Structure 1
Amino acid sequence: MKPIIIIGAGMAAYSLAREVRKLDKSAELLIITADDGGFYSKPMLSNAFAQKKVAAQLISQSSAQMAEQIGADIMTKTRVNAIDTARKVVDTSNGAFEYRQLVLAVGAQPIRLNLVGDASDRVLSVNHIDDYATFRAKLLPDLQASARVAILGAGLIGCEFADDLAAHGHTVTLIDPNQLPLAALAPQALCEGLHAALTARGINLRLGTTASSIDHADGAIKITLSNGEVVVADVVLSAVGLRPDLALAQVAQLTTGRGIMVDSHGRTSAADVYALGDCAEYRVDREGRTSPLPYIAPILTAARAIAKTLTGDDTEIDLKHSPVIVKTPSYPLALIPPPPHTVAAGRWETELDGATTICRFFDAQGVMVGFGVAPQEAKIRQALMAALGTSA
């Protein structure tokens, strides 16, 4: 029997493989990955420094252990060149393989800034455990206690890295065009609270500006900002966001938008081809609106549904609200951002409950469709979850 082929070996791929195996003990599973296939949790990359963990310590299971656990063939260090959806064949650097069903779980790639300067090629991104290993080696070349780190982007990942690195003793400068950190995701009151907490942590915030050039300077890196200021660093990290990896999908002529377009069952525009995780663009409401969903909860939900469909039980992906937990220990937040189409006509309302700031977002009809809370804790978070969909 031809196998179910999964391309990728991240959380989405392995979650799906586990779910398939729960439902079908005999299904042939082939996982193809360009890396060594070790299992790790990508969210741990942005808070591993304070835990003093090297890259190898973040890998909980090797590809061989994963293969034994889920009963799959895992082909590592293998590049996928093309997909022939008519013949149901995947062409790789290790040969061609026919599939019964195919799932793309290829993730997302860092957005690359168009930077100028003779040190622009020294800007790093961390989107994979190998990137983390490189970044850590650059920070601690001689096991020195501290390095100067400039982070481009004060969104979720940039703020998490900044807090983590500062806690580890590094000197951190956070650079962003917005006037507050996390401005694209959180309400103003929480952004202001995070700003105060990061400043108290000793992080230098350079906001309302961008990097205009990055150059070598006496063994260091000089970042010239658009407002004329200069930041000197030993390491520069870009954390300006991720973009779904569409390369294989486009070669296979699948329908793509911001991500690989999938229907309510995870199917792409080609028969027996599915997409899952950060590379996919899901239907997020009954009006047919779509969006990539770059968080853990949607991956797990979609993996369970797609596994059922692959094994003969046609199942819709039932995407439910799940809060985004921002790993900034100096000011821990939990958020459910409002749907983008509600933002222009809706409003945030802020309540102070002792030391806790609670923000609720109400749409134009006065229905609560988002919230943010900091410092966050489970009881308050659960109460806010229960209140979603209720009127002001």
Structure 2
Amino acid sequence: MLEVKRVQVQVPNPAEATETADAIGTDTTEDNLQVDQSKPAIVIIGTGLAGYNLVKEIRKNDNTTPIKMFTNDDGAFYSKPQLSTGFAKNKSAQELVSQTAEQMAEQLHAEIHIFSPITAINSQAKTITCSKNGVHHYGKLILATGASCIEAPLTGNGLNHVYSVNDLIDYARFRTIAKHKKKVLIIGAGLIGCEYANDLLQTGFDVEVVDPMSTVLASLLPEKASKSVESALALAGAKFHFGTIIEKIDTDGSGVKATLKNGQTIFADIVLSAIGVRPNLALANAAAVTTERGIVTNRQLQTSNSDIFAIGDCAQVENHVLFYISPLMAQIKALAKTLTGTATTVSYNAMPVMIKTTLFPVVVNPPARNAEGTWHYEQQSNDGVKAVFKDANNQILGFALTGDQTSARSELEQHCPAIMP
């Protein structure tokens, strides 16, 4: 357990929450802070971007309420978006860390429990049970439990060669094993798969990608925009296998042989599964909190239990489950105000997503689910595509920009409706 009682944090936001935010730095100023242990504690489960930045926002207005944080890992603070750019930047896992848990405890004036999984939540008694540190009471409980990688349904004797990367420990494991490998097989050509393909290609790896859709980023981009990204990655050396899935991974010498549903086989040194993430709901379910695709909250991030809140990748806010930094930062600002006495609802403006395919940049502001309209291609060439989604009244509801057309982002963003006004 780490606890310090003298320092006030001043942690700047990440580049106003862009999708490629770097690790957030911290500045500290000395102050005679004194936590009032008679106050009910704010307990936060999770020490990722959501948890740490929520505490930073709380401490702007409240320096006396006890704050306890619990995490399954070492609590190191790092920028998760950098996990998919670390190879090209030749960054080790340690080099991605900006602050240790001990440093964060001092700066945030918080009690941080590392390697301390939560095994139970008693919402009636308002307690959590920690595997190593017993029972802790809370006044307000924040679930910042994030999301976990979806496992590909594979068979075969080579599954120990299949990796996924969702946190710093995963990154360290994959980077270490890949040190003397040459060829990587990626499962999935969505956002995560494309970002890793981009990163690994720039590092000199041979890359093959398998996806059941007909092109890359198929759930985010219209076809011609998707094809422009596919062409750029293929030109850089990626080989794609669309319209099929991997059914079996078997060992082949020191590497693997992947058997595809269409009968093809692919030989590689290592496999990276990148088919997406799913909110972690186990603790919410244990607390009898309502869950659907995520932990269901109202616009004050409050769950079905009035003293339990959810933020970040695990939260479903008015049916929105968004795995991006911009909505996360909007949630943090609103919830911090609510927890410090000013009830505040969260709102989402248009939030374009920058996909980190640096070989061929992509910015997309997807239209709302079930939005009625049509994609219009206003520019398209080998250098980039500009596609705009418009309704019957010619109102812009979304856009997709690739290559040299990404410069149109600011102009188009102004015309798009808010996601959640």
TM above 0.5: yes
Secondary structure of the equivalent of 1:159? helix
Q: Does 1:331 align with 2:370?
A: no
Q: Is the CA contact 2:361–2:406 (under 8 Å) kept in the aligned structure 1?
A: no
Query: C-alpha displacement at 1:122, in angstroms?
Result: 2.7
Query: C-alpha displacement at 1:353, in angstroms?
Result: 6.9
Q: Is the CA contact 1:6–1:13 (under 8 Å) kept in the aligned structure 2?
A: yes
1:36-55 maps to which residues of 2 (within 5 A)?
Answer: 36-55=74-93
* Residue in 2 that maps onto 1:347: 374
Q: Is the CA contact 2:377–2:385 (under 8 Å) kept in the aligned structure 1?
A: yes
Query: C-alpha displacement at 1:187, in angstroms?
Result: 1.3
Q: Aligned equivalents of 1:321 and 1:223: distance in 2?
A: 41
Structure 1 residues 85-143: Cα deviation after superposition (integer angstroms, max 9, x where no partner): 11110111111000010100000011112211111243111001000011011101xxx
* Residue in 1 that maps onto 2:257: 222
Q: Give the root-mean-square deviation of aligned CA atoms.
A: 1.4
Secondary structure of the equivalent of 2:98? coil
Q: Is the CA contact 2:228–2:384 (under 8 Å) kept in the aligned structure 1?
A: no
Structure 1 residues 33-82: Cα deviation after superposition (integer angstroms, max 9, x where no partner): 11110001111101100101110000100001111111111111101011
Query: C-alpha displacement at 1:338, in angstroms?
Result: 0.9
Query: C-alpha displacement at 1:352, in angstroms?
Result: 1.2
Query: C-alpha displacement at 1:356, in angstroms?
Result: 3.9
Query: C-alpha displacement at 1:389, in angstroms?
Result: 4.0
Letter in 1 for 2:275: V
* Residue in 2 that maps onto 1:294: 323
Q: Does 1:19 align with 2:57?
A: yes
Q: Does 1:308 align with 2:346?
A: no
Q: Is the CA contact 1:166–1:202 (under 8 Å) kept in the aligned structure 2?
A: yes
Query: C-alpha displacement at 1:365, in angstroms?
Result: 4.7
Secondary structure of the equivalent of 1:341? coil
State which drifts further: 301-310 or 215-224.
215-224
2:395 is aligned, of 367, 370, 375, to 367
Q: Aligned equivalents of 1:40 and 1:320: distance in 2?
A: 26
Q: Aligned equivalents of 2:296 and 2:153: distance in 1?
A: 27
Secondary structure of the equivalent of 2:78? coil
Q: Does 1:162 align with 2:205?
A: no
Query: C-alpha displacement at 1:281, in angstroms?
Result: 0.4
Letter in 2 for 1:370: G
Q: Aligned equivalents of 1:329 and 1:6: distance in 2?
A: 35
Q: Is the CA contact 2:386–2:405 (under 8 Å) kept in the aligned structure 1?
A: no
Structure 1 residues 327-359: Cα deviation after superposition (integer angstroms, max 9, x where no partner): 1111100011111121xx321001117744211
* Residue in 2 that maps onto 1:286: none
Secondary structure of the equivalent of 2:119? strand
Q: Is the CA contact 2:40–2:65 (under 8 Å) kept in the aligned structure 1?
A: no
1:87 is aligned, of 96, 106, 125, to 125
Query: C-alpha displacement at 1:276, in angstroms?
Result: 0.2
Q: Does 1:257 align with 2:292?
A: yes
Do the aligned partners of residues 121 and 364 (structure 1) sit closer, same or farther apart at CA in structure 2, a change above 3 Å counting? farther
Q: Is the CA contact 1:124–1:236 (under 8 Å) kept in the aligned structure 2?
A: yes
1:148-297 maps to which residues of 2 (within 5 A)?
Answer: 148-283=183-318, 290-297=319-326
Using the aligned pairs only, state the percent identity: 40
Secondary structure of the equivalent of 2:99? coil
Do the aligned partners of residues 321 and 199 (structure 1) sit closer, same or farther apart at CA in structure 2, a change above 3 Å counting? same
Query: C-alpha displacement at 1:363, in angstroms?
Result: 3.2
Q: Is the CA contact 2:68–2:112 (under 8 Å) kept in the aligned structure 1?
A: yes
What's the TM-score, normalizing by structure 1?
0.94
Do the aligned partners of residues 84 and 364 (structure 1) sit closer, same or farther apart at CA in structure 2, a change above 3 Å counting? farther
Query: C-alpha displacement at 1:379, in angstroms?
Result: 4.6
* Residue in 1 that maps onto 2:346: 317
Q: Is the CA contact 1:174–1:205 (under 8 Å) kept in the aligned structure 2?
A: yes
Query: C-alpha displacement at 1:219, in angstroms?
Result: 2.0
Structure 1 residues 196-241: Cα deviation after superposition (integer angstroms, max 9, x where no partner): 1011000111111110111011221000111111111111010000
Q: Aligned equivalents of 2:190 and 2:270: distance in 1?
A: 19
1:74-113 maps to which residues of 2 (within 5 A)?
Answer: 74-93=112-131, 94-113=133-152
State which drifts further: 21-30 or 126-135.
21-30
Secondary structure of the equivalent of 1:302? helix
- What are the ranges of 5 or more consecutive residues in structure 2 without an aligned counterpart? 1-38
Do the aligned partners of residues 377 and 43 (structure 1) sit closer, same or farther apart at CA in structure 2, a change above 3 Å counting? farther
Letter in 1 for 2:353: V
